[in-house]
């Protein structure tokens, strides 16, 4: 795989899940036995990514600490005879080099991606949102498929897409496409959080992208929205308007995007990952069944 660098923006304020995020990053919220951002990194590692550039911010230092190799903790576990816990730290030794830069003002996802330019330079790169897991337990190969498409289609950008109910289009970036049934969809337009009436399709942008360096010029030429945020979706629309080749790939039907940026989706993700946990899943299923039975008896 030729693209082996990913930009992971984790600098957002996470105001939609306050008070959880008052003093901890939303990307460090637990989903089952791991923080969200660990799933993102494991997914990227299993898709051939070897370098990760986090776009981080004030109050997010626990993310960098999570990926450090903690020799003191390892020694402590050994001394206490708790070697069995060491396997939980295996992720520290993944074949990944970590880099960090700061988005000093939260001016939107597009602005966060632009912060990568001085470091990533003229290389194409994957962008993976740090608050979204793709596939149950991060089991997706969408990034590899997107990189293949980027190369074989000689695309300027490749975007992961997931169909959403029409009533949800106003929560996502939504694309217009040439032929909804093609393997590689030619994207002809992109709108950030449209109304149901304005949405050209129900295909949402699903938190994974591959970009050529042209994205940085597009971001610099894109106007901010009415809240002063620079939207990545608007820069994609700008690229399309200037004739760039932007390709979409749908997540397979059995693969979901788990966005933990709002309580509804966070609770559902936590529940699903816990109920399917290889160690605790069976016990949790019977616990939830009992809770529901008890609830029904009381109603």
The nearer residue to ligand UTP, 70 or 225, going by C-beta atoms, is 225
Q: Per CB under 6 A, does 173 bind ligand UTP?
A: no
Residue partners of 74: CB distance under 8 A and separation at least 6: 86, 89
Q: Residue from 28, 52, 63, 112 that binds ligand UTP (CB under 6 A)? A: 112
Q: Residue from 14, 32, 135, 173 that binds ligand UTP (CB under 6 A)? A: 14
Binding mask 235-274 for ligand UTP (x = CB under 6 A): --------------------------x-------------
Q: Per CB under 6 A, does 219 bind ligand UTP?
A: no
Q: Per CB under 6 A, does 65 bind ligand UTP?
A: no
Q: Residue from 5, 41, 126, 129 that binds ligand UTP (CB under 6 A)? A: 129
Stretch that binds ligand UTP, among 129-137, 152-160, 242-250, 279-287 (CB under 6 A): 129-137
Q: What angle do CA 37, 127, 57 make, to 5 degrees?
A: 55
Stretch that binds ligand UTP, among 123-131, 208-216, 246-254, 276-284 (CB under 6 A): 123-131
Q: Residue from 62, 94, 106, 139 that binds ligand UTP (CB under 6 A)? A: 106
Would you give the distance in Å from CA 175 to the centre of its chain? 18
The dihedral sign for the CA sequence 85, 88, 89, 95: positive
Quick one: DSSP state of residue 166? G
3-state secondary structure of 152: helix
- To ligand UTP, the closest distance from the beta carbon of 5 in angstroms equals 17
The nearer residue to ligand UTP, 48 or 59, going by C-beta atoms, is 59
* DSSP string covering 266-284: HHHHHHHHHHT-TTTHHHH
Q: Residue from 6, 55, 96, 206 that binds ligand UTP (CB under 6 A)? A: 55
Stretch that binds ligand UTP, among 10-18, 43-51, 138-146, 218-226 (CB under 6 A): 10-18
- To ligand UTP, the closest distance from the beta carbon of 35 in angstroms equals 12
* C-alpha to C-alpha distance for 70 and 88, rounded to whole angstroms: 12
DSSP alpha helices (H): ranges in the chain? 36-46, 61-67, 71-79, 109-114, 117-120, 142-152, 214-221, 232-241, 263-275, 281-298
Q: Per CB under 6 A, does 32 bind ligand UTP?
A: no
Cα separation values, 213 from 43, 102, 232, Å: 23, 20, 14
The nearer residue to ligand UTP, 248 or 261, going by C-beta atoms, is 261
* C-alpha to C-alpha distance for 126 and 12, rounded to whole angstroms: 19
* C-alpha to C-alpha distance for 159 and 127, rounded to whole angstroms: 10
- To ligand UTP, the closest distance from the beta carbon of 60 in angstroms equals 8
* C-alpha to C-alpha distance for 174 and 240, rounded to whole angstroms: 14
Residues 1-20: b if buried by 16+ CB within 10 A, e if exposed: eebbbbbbbbbbebebbeeb
Q: Per CB under 6 A, does 103 bind ligand UTP?
A: yes
Q: How many residues bind ligand UTP (CB under 6 A)?
A: 21
Q: Per CB under 6 A, does 13 bind ligand UTP?
A: yes
Task: Provide the binding-site residues for ligand UTP, judged by CB under 6 A.
Answer: 9-16, 27, 55, 103, 106-109, 111-112, 129-131, 261
């Amino acid at each position: 795989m030729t693209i082996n660098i990913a930009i992971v923006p984790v600098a957002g304020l996470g105001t939609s899940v306050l008070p959880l995020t008052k003093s901890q990053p939303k990307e460090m919220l637990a989903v089952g036995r791991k923080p969200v951002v660990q799933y993102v990194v494991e997914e990227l590692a299993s898709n051939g990514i070897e370098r990760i550039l986090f776009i981080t911010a004030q109050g997010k230092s626990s993310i960098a600490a999570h990926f450090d190799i903690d020799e003191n903790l390892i020694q402590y576990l050994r001394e206490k005879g708790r070697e069995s816990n060491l396997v939980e730290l295996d992720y520290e030794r993944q074949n990944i080099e970590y880099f960090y830069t700061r988005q000093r003002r939260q001016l939107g996802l597009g602005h966060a991606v632009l912060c990568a330019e001085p470091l990533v330079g003229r290389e194409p790169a994957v962008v993976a949102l740090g608050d979204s897991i793709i596939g149950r337990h991060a089991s997706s190969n969408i990034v590899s498929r997107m990189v293949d498409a980027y190369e074989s289609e000689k695309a300027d950008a490749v975007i992961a897409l997931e169909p959403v109910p029409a009533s949800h289009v106003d929560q996502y970036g939504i694309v217009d496409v040439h032929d909804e049934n093609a393997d590689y969809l030619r994207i002809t337009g992109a709108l950030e959080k449209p109304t149901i009436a304005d949405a050209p399709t129900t295909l949402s942008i699903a938190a994974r992208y591959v970009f050529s360096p042209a994205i940085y010029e597009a971001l610099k030429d894109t106007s901010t929205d009415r809240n002063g945020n620079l939207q990545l979706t608007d820069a994609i629309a700008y690229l399309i308007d200037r004739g760039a080749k932007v390709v979409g790939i749908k997540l397979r039907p059995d693969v979901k995007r788990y966005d933990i940026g709002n309580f509804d989706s966070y609770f559902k993700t936590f529940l699903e990952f816990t109920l399917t946990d290889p160690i605790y899943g069976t016990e949790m299923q019977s616990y939830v069944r009992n809770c529901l039975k008890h609830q029904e008896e009381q109603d």
